[in-house]
Structure 1
Amino acid sequence: MTRAEPESSPAAAAEPGFRRRLLDGMAETVRKHGYREATVADVVREARTSRRTFYEHFSSKQDCFIELLAERNSDTIRQIYQAVDPAAAWDIQVRQAIEAWIAASQHDPTITLAWIRDIPALGDDARELHRTTGDAFVTLIRNLTATPQFQSAELHPPSRAMATILYGGYRELIASTVEAGGDIGEIVDVAVETAIALIGPR
């Protein structure tokens, strides 16, 4: 027999801190076990709460995982926007954006890899996150290259299709580097070179 998990009152479960703890518990569980092997029991153990509390906030393990990744991706996009100085030279802006993207990915590479590899196979809700996040990154790339510095330097700001290629290529490069045990920081230069080759002067 195992010791029963502690029950929590509805009032306590409604506190905002429990949702945060559960999301952090999901992140720690994925780091330790990977998403596929993770269980709700693992998550509530890491969050130091109960199964009842979990299901008062999330409908399933997948629901919690999707919210965690949505939050992480939104944070990454915000960090990239904040890192870019729109008054800097265009090639410096390219480097600033890519360095911020890689730094955000490098901060928690296990979660980054789970986002890239696990989400596509998790059904309609996960596919919707995959689509909306892809759209947000493509919009980010196009917004960052729609400044006067890019327009006045005889450059080639990317179309939606070109921005999609950049986004997808970077995702795969990040994932394959993590899977090979490499340092994501080492791909900054090649990522910058690729972007400059695509949007730079012909």
Structure 2
Amino acid sequence: MTTARTRSAAPAGFRQRLLAGLAESIAERGYPDTTVADIVRLARTSRRTFYEHFSGKDTCFVALITETNGEMIRRISAAVDPAAPWWDQVRRAVGAWLDIATGEPAVTVSWIRDVPALGLLSRQLQRDLMENFVTMIQTLTDTEELRAAGVGRASRPVAIVLLGGLRELIATTIEDGGRIDDVRETAVTTALALLGPRG
């Protein structure tokens, strides 16, 4: 029997299946070579259902990247104990970031490399994602423990440098066939240097 509750839950379920289908296709073929037909095949649904949720492949991609980055920010934030020593907080945040990239390398690289090619959709999406990460970094560095250690809230320029550096390190490592674990200590050491006490 179909209830009002199952009917209202169905659209969200189809939407998530479509996003998962896109993520799977990106892992298989890359975003540029992915088609709507690939997405619906992997989502085990129809083109009609796809177009009930998205106007095209690019809007589906924007939704995937937005949701993926939102989840990434939640997981990084949850990994940090604000009462831990400052260096441990930084290490845990960077470690969580790298673990997520390791778990979803294709989507991570697609976020970094394919989003700029979206044209009009690209600029606002990039700015929104950057602002979300800058806010996360500033929030994580604005704690009593960090202030007591002489660290304090990261400035916007420092947060942007950290974000850009980690993104590029992750992308080039994956593209070159390397392992994220091979650059883990470099990423952590660099973040500690950027965010650590001054003077």
Alignment TM-score > 0.5, same fold: yes
Residues 190 and 47 of structure 1, relative CA distance in 2, 3 Å threshold = same
Match of 2:13 in 1: 17
| Alpha-carbon distance in 1 for matches of 2:9, 2:195 | 50
Shift of 1:128: 1.4
Match of 1:66 in 2: 62
Shift of 1:157: 3.8
Match of 1:57 in 2: 53
Match of 2:27 in 1: 31
> Is the CA contact 1:156–1:198 (under 8 Å) kept in the aligned structure 2?
no
Match of 1:135 in 2: 131
The ranges of structure 1 where at least 4 consecutive aligned residues each deviate by more than 3 angstroms after the TM superposition are 11-15
Match of 1:164 in 2: 160
Pick aligned residue for 1:177 from 173, 176, 187: 173
| Alpha-carbon distance in 2 for matches of 1:138, 1:53 | 35
Amino acid at match of 2:155: S
Unaligned runs of 5+ in 1: 1-10
Shift of 1:13: 11
| Alpha-carbon distance in 2 for matches of 1:135, 1:188 | 24
| Alpha-carbon distance in 2 for matches of 1:196, 1:42 | 42
Amino acid at match of 1:21: R
| Alpha-carbon distance in 1 for matches of 2:81, 2:9 | 42
More helix by share: 2
Match of 1:125 in 2: 121
Match of 1:101 in 2: 97
Shift of 1:155: 2.6
> Is the CA contact 1:105–1:112 (under 8 Å) kept in the aligned structure 2?
yes
Indicate the RMSD between aligned Cα atoms, in angstroms. Answer: 1.7
| Alpha-carbon distance in 2 for matches of 1:147, 1:183 | 32
| Alpha-carbon distance in 2 for matches of 1:162, 1:12 | 44
Shift of 1:158: 2.2
Amino acid at match of 1:111: V
Calculate the TM-score normalised by the size of structure 2: 0.91
Please identify, of 155-164 and 82-91, the stretch whose mean Cα deviation from structure 2 is larger: 155-164
Q: Can you list the C-alpha shifts for 1:85-114, whole angstroms capped at 9, x where unaligned? A: 000000000001000111111111011000
Please identify, of 189-198 and 53-62, the stretch whose mean Cα deviation from structure 2 is larger: 189-198
Aligned length: 192
Q: Can you list the C-alpha shifts for 1:146-165, whole angstroms capped at 9, x where unaligned? A: 10111111235421011100
| Sequence identity percentage | 52
| Alpha-carbon distance in 2 for matches of 1:148, 1:168 | 26
Residues 158 and 13 of structure 1, relative CA distance in 2, 3 Å threshold = closer
Calculate the TM-score normalised by the size of structure 1: 0.90
Pick aligned residue for 2:190 from 188, 191, 194: 194
Shift of 1:48: 1.1
> Is the CA contact 2:25–2:39 (under 8 Å) kept in the aligned structure 1?
yes
Shift of 1:53: 1.0
Shift of 1:127: 2.1
| Alpha-carbon distance in 1 for matches of 2:46, 2:195 | 51
Q: Can you list the C-alpha shifts for 1:49-79, whole angstroms capped at 9, x where unaligned? A: 1111111111000011110111100000000
Pick aligned residue for 1:152 from 126, 148, 151: 148
> Is the CA contact 1:13–1:53 (under 8 Å) kept in the aligned structure 2?
no
| Alpha-carbon distance in 1 for matches of 2:130, 2:151 | 24
